[in-house]
Structures are given as structure tokens and as C-alpha cells.
Structure 1
Amino acid sequence: MVCLPAAPPALALRTWLGLGLLALLCLGLGQAREKRVIRSKLGENVSLSCCHEIPRSESLQNYRTYWQKKCPGVTLVVLAYSDGTLIEVHDRYKNRTEMDPWDLILRISPMEILDNGTYQCVVQHNSVVVCDESVTLFVTADFSQPSITAEVSASSCESAEMVIVCSSHGGFPKPRISGALNNVSVEWNASWVSESSPSPYNVTGTLVLNVTSDVNVTCSVEHDGLAKSTSLLLEKTNDCVVPPVPPPYNVITASSIVVITFILAIILAARYLPRRVCPHCCKPQDPVEEGMKEGTKPPVSLKVTSETSSV
């Protein structure tokens, strides 16, 4: 029986360290492959590289390449090549995809929101898998510039209650809406609308303010690290017209009664006053006419008695 000498402790340690570093390297490469992300915008072109290239010096015979997309519960084949010939393409990707049989790069144009997802490139040579790698495609769409509107719901001399609405549309993915009043952060009451999943979003934020002085309102729509902002200056006017206070109801009633009574008195006086004039009253006569009437009177005759004449 022959006994082999034991390995020196230092050599064994170096061996274990080497194996550990190799394992960590392989694990890191695997994670890096899983985390490979390609970003593209709606309507643009994108190229997804595969994990393998076929050398031009080799023949395409016995090579099979699949680009497939992983969907919830199912995996669909985007396109497939065998022996350098296209053998399959999915209906959603017809006339929008192509692949070079040598570099195996998948090109999609134009991008759609539904193209979001994880794609996998599988290369086989003589039925042996040469490579199998995934890449995540992340499609984004820019939101429109936010629009801010303000409407006064109630006002007084001291303040004005305003409803502020900020809206933006046509973006993806679901955004975050934020804002500020004179550079002080404020929370919006936000709502999102999307026709289907996934599809572009329309976002609306509402804010109710009690404005007592001029204030600058800022609304920002953020997604995927990008933000678009709009500001609006709300001015509190100093013109304050105090509306007249209407008199009490009893004052109005009493005033109405007085006015009506006065009008009725005038009407009755105009109707009945001429009938109460004294019928015996005569029209004053002219002094000249009165003198003439006196001149027409016959002279007064003097009676002489017998006694007077005898004297």
C-alpha cells in the first residue's frame, strides 16, 4: 500500500480560494445576463444582441436560432431560423422584425408598448445548446407638457378658494405627479387612465387651494427618471367690492305699504275732490262790471207829504 503525500496547507487554501472566486465570477456573469436591459422609446427602432455569433467561416448548416418572448404563463416564438432560413415568425412581429443569420441580432421597428418584456435568444448547433440568454426590453413613451388650469369656486375680500387641475397624456409607464407651492412641496390628488394593459397613460392631478396672496404653482410629471414641469402664477386681486346689504324683510314690507297708501290717496283725491266744491260759490266779478250794473238802477223817488210842503 502506497500513501501519497498530503498537499501542503497553503496549496489547498489557494485551490479553494480559486474555486470560490470562479464560482462568484460565474454567478456574477449569470446575474449580469439576467439583468441586461435595453430601453427604447415608442415608435423608435431597437436592436437586441444575442449571446452568440456564427463565424462567417462556418456553415449555417445544423444551426437553429430562436428568439422568443416570455409572457405570463406562455412563451411565444418571435422568429426562428434553421440552416440560415426563416422558418417561423409570430403574427404580431410580421413586417416589424428581422434577424441577420450570422450575427443573430433581433431588430424590431417601430416599437410598440406591447413589445415590453423579456426576450430570450437560444442557439443550437447539432441539437446542442450553444447559448441561452435573456434580455429585458423596456419601452417608454414621453408625456405631454403638463397643463395647469385654475378655477375660482368661492371668493371673499380676504381669500379665494381655487380648484387647480394639472393634466398630461400619452406617456408610459405609469407616472408620478408632484408639485410645489412657492417651492414648498405639495401632494396632488392624482388619477390615472389607461385604455388597456399595457398602454399609454393619461394622468390628472387636482388641488384645492385657499389663496390669500399671490402664489406660484408648479406641476411635474415624472417617469423613468424623466420629468416635465409647468408653472402657473395665481394672483390674488386687491379689488374688493362689498355687496350692498339688503334691508330687512319687515322694512321692505313697511315701505311698500306706505308707498301704496300714498298712491291710493292721490288717486282718491283726484277722483272725489271736485264734487265737494260748494255749489253756491260764485265766480268773483270784475269791479267795472259791478259799477255798470249799479248805474243802470232806476233813481229813487222822493215822496213829499203835505206836511212838509206846508212848512
Structure 2
Amino acid sequence: MQLTKMAKKTRSYRKMMCLPASPPAPALRTWLRLGLFVLLCLGIGQALEKKVVKSKVGEKVSLPCCHEIPISESLHKYRVYWQKNITDVVLAYSEGNMISKHKRYQNRTEMDPWNLTLWISPMEILDNGSYQCVVQRNSVVVCDESVILFVTADFSKPNITAEVSADSCESTEMVIMCSSHGGFPKPRISGALNNMSVEWNATWASESSLSPYNVTGKLVLNVTKDVNITCSIEYNGFAKSTSLLLKKTNDCFVPPVPPPYNVITASIIIVITFILAITLAARYLPRHVCSHCCKGQNSVEEGVKDSMKAPLSDKGTAETSSV
């Protein structure tokens, strides 16, 4: 509590330093003071800006402090506090000795005795957050500065699956699923269809805000030709992508269109008539031909008989004339 009160006093003191210290003087002196006032405020503003450090789970990270102990001095003259989110003391040094360390950081943290850098290894997702380095000398706050630590856990390579939900000669309807797991922080899922962006219907799952995330994206497409789809998982400046070729069903068989009912009826009548005509022709035509053949044969036989009778009559006539 004493440390927090002193830090607040130091901040208020810094704000007071940004106010003009004397009433207006001549024009030149006024402009000079105004310039110094602006430079001082800019310098303090930059000093109060929070630094940002990024790291991945399992790596070793260094968090810089706002003060470096001169060579002529030593850590014994200082009190150093590294705390997270103001409430949890990561570790603390007094007169050169460690006086406190958080149990979650046991065997994972160390501090450089000169530049007061805090080293954390290996990184965990729970290490994500804001850290403050507070340095005191003779009970006076020398510096108080924050560092934002962003911890990243890699997601698995996206897995894409495609299932045909409906198919026709014109198009193939597919349900596309893209999933990835085990990463941090909460990711963004994006995609492209033949280099044109598409929006996924995404869902996320995580036990807490500081736990690994699982993400799943769903997309329904009508595929009219072979296309390439890409699914990308983006998180904290990193990205992982997977592509899949979606093929249109090519073996589309178009069944023949049946003829109208009237055409079928007319065709049946024609076929039946044709069959009856052939049957009748086969039954009556041979008899007609045979009758003609028989008549011709009888006439020939009669002619032969007549020719044979003729000489006999001649002979009879001759005999009669001789008598």
C-alpha cells in the first residue's frame, strides 16, 4: 500500500511539472519557456507510454525495467518490485536480497542485478498481462513503468473437410468445415474462394479468457466448377492456412425425356396395323398365286390334248376320202 501511494504522489508530481512555474515574462522568455514546457511534457508522456513485448508459449522473454543501476552503485541501495496487474508481486528485492516471489513464478523468473530486466521462462498463457517495474532509492520512487506482455500459443494447421449435401447437373451444393485448436489468443478465421474473400460462420470454444481456444468455421457453397478454397487462422500477428480443391461432379447423366402419351398410342396402333397386314398377306397371298398357277397348268394340258387329237381327225378324214 505504501508503494502504491508513493507511486501516485510521483505521478501527481510529474503532472505538476507540466504547469508553468512563473507568470508571463517578456516575449522571448515566454516563447522559450513555452518551448521547454512542451518538450518536458512530451518527454514525460513518452516515459509514461507502456512498452509492448510479444512472446510465444514455451519461449524465454525479457521485460525491460525503467531504471539501470549506475556502475558506481549496487543493488543494495535499492528496492525493486516487479508486479503483475498491480496486485500480484512477481518478485521483490531489498538491499540486494530477494524478499518475495510469487509461487506461480517459482523456478521460472530471474532478474538482472544491473538493468533490472525480468526474465520469464518458459512462457505460459497465464503470463499474459501488464507488468510494472517500480524502483526505489532511499524510499524515493526512482521510476515506475509498465510493460504489456502478449503471449501467443500456436494454433494447429487448419483442417478443411467438404461434404456434398445436394447435387444436380447445374451445381453441387457442399458444406465446408474448417477447424483449428490449441491456440491463443482468440483468433480470427478468414477464407478465399479462387482468390475472392469469403465469410465463415465461425464459433469459438475456450474454458476461460486465458485458456487455449478451439475455432470452427462453416460455409455452404454451390459449386458449378472446380474451385480452390483457403481457410486461414489469424492470431496476434501470426497466421496459418490450408487449401482444398473442390471438384464439381462431372458424371452427370441426363435421362431421356419420354414421348407424350398420344405419340405412344399412335405408335402402338401403327405397329399393330403393320403386324396385321403382314399376317393377312402371309395367309391369303399364297392361295391366290396357287389358283393362277393351277389355271395355267390346266390350259396347257388341254392344249396338249387338243394337239394330240388333231392328227387323229386328219387320219380319219384321209381314210374317208380314200373310200
Q: TM-score, normalised by structure 1?
A: 0.70
Aligned length: 234
Per the TM alignment, residue 186 of structure 1 is displaced from its structure 2 partner at its CA by 1.1
CA distance in 2, matches of 1:49, 1:21: 24
Match of 2:234 among 222, 236, 244: 222
Aligned counterpart, 1:200: 212
Per the TM alignment, residue 18 of structure 1 is displaced from its structure 2 partner at its CA by 2.5
For structure 2, the residue ranges without an aligned partner over 5 or more in a row are 1-23, 258-323
Which amino acid in the other structure matches residue 137 of structure 1?
L
Aligned counterpart, 2:148: 136
CA distance in 2, matches of 1:239, 1:117: 57
The Cα RMSD (Å) is 2.1
Contact 2:48 2:145 survives alignment (8 Å): no
Per-residue CA shift, 1:114-163, capped at 9, x if unaligned?
00111011111121111111111110112222111101122223322211
Structure 1 counterpart SS, 2:82: strand
Match of 1:156 among 168, 171, 174: 168
Q: Is 1:52 matched up with 2:90? A: no
Q: Indicate how the Cα distance of structure 1 residues 161 and 7 shifts in structure 2: closer, same or farther if over 3 A, else same.
A: closer
CA distance in 1, matches of 2:74, 2:128: 34
CA distance in 1, matches of 2:70, 2:34: 37
Per-residue CA shift, 1:215-272, capped at 9, x if unaligned?
2111111122222221111111221246899xxxxxxxxxxxxxxxxxxxxxxxxxxx
Match of 1:115 among 119, 127, 132: 127
CA distance in 2, matches of 1:103, 1:16: 34
Which amino acid in the other structure matches residue 91 of structure 1?
K
Indicate the percent of aligned positions where both proteins have the same amino acid. 72
Contact 2:77 2:95 survives alignment (8 Å): yes
Q: Indicate how the Cα distance of structure 1 residues 224 and 118 shifts in structure 2: closer, same or farther if over 3 A, else same.
A: same
Which amino acid in the other structure matches residue 152 of structure 1?
V
Structure 1 counterpart SS, 2:76: coil
Aligned counterpart, 2:251: 239
Aligned counterpart, 1:43: 58
Contact 1:180 1:219 survives alignment (8 Å): yes
Q: Is 1:11 matched up with 2:26? A: no
Per the TM alignment, residue 11 of structure 1 is displaced from its structure 2 partner at its CA by 2.9
Q: Is 1:21 matched up with 2:39? A: yes
Larger helix share, 1 or 2: 2
CA distance in 1, matches of 2:35, 2:68: 33
Q: Indicate how the Cα distance of structure 1 residues 59 and 21 shifts in structure 2: closer, same or farther if over 3 A, else same.
A: closer
CA distance in 2, matches of 1:100, 1:16: 40
Match of 1:77 among 63, 77, 89: 89
Per the TM alignment, residue 19 of structure 1 is displaced from its structure 2 partner at its CA by 2.1
Q: TM-score, normalised by structure 2?
A: 0.68
Q: Indicate how the Cα distance of structure 1 residues 231 and 94 shifts in structure 2: closer, same or farther if over 3 A, else same.
A: same
State which drifts further: 143-152 or 96-105. Answer: 96-105
Aligned counterpart, 2:177: 165
Per-residue CA shift, 1:56-95, capped at 9, x if unaligned?
432433421110001xxx6110011111111111011011
Aligned counterpart, 1:277: none
Aligned counterpart, 1:254: none
